[in-house]
Amino acid sequence: MAADAQALGLVDKVGYVQDAYDYAASQAKLNNRTIVKYHDPPNIFDALMSGKSNLPTGGRANHTITINGVNINAGDLRELMTPRLMYLWRGQ
């Protein structure tokens, strides 16, 4: 596919990401370069849907994190994200 894109003139060259960094630096005549990668900050929805957490573990259970100006107790949030058995009782 990459060769097809090059044959159609959609890309100049086929290579790896590092090749692109090196090419850009050479075109800009940079001797020293710094590569900065930006990532979207994690949000609560991503944390809940992925099942992963960047919350502190261990002795910092009462650590407070701030998300968009809202203070949240990390221990409470971890407890909400922890899978557990739940029962549905309809009562009669």
The domain limits of the chain are 1-38, 44-81
Q: Which residue has the higher pLDDT, 12 or 59?
A: 12
* Mean of all residue pLDDT scores within the chain: 76
pLDDT of residue 36: 80
Q: Tens digits of per-residue pLDDT, 28-57?
A: 998 888 888 777 666 666 666 665 555 555
Residue 87's pLDDT band (cuts 50, 70, 90): confident
- Cα–Cα distance, 23 to 36 (Å, whole number): 16
Angle in degrees, CA 47, 49, 54, rounded to 5: 20
For the entire predicted model, the pTM comes to 0.39
Phi, psi of 74 (to 5 degrees): -60, -35
Please state, in angstroms and rounded to a whole number, the distance separating the CA atoms of residues 62 and 72: 10
The beta-strand segments (E) located in the chain are 64-67, 70-73
As a whole number, mean pLDDT of residues 61-86 equals 74
What distance lies between CA 54 and its chain's CA centroid? 10
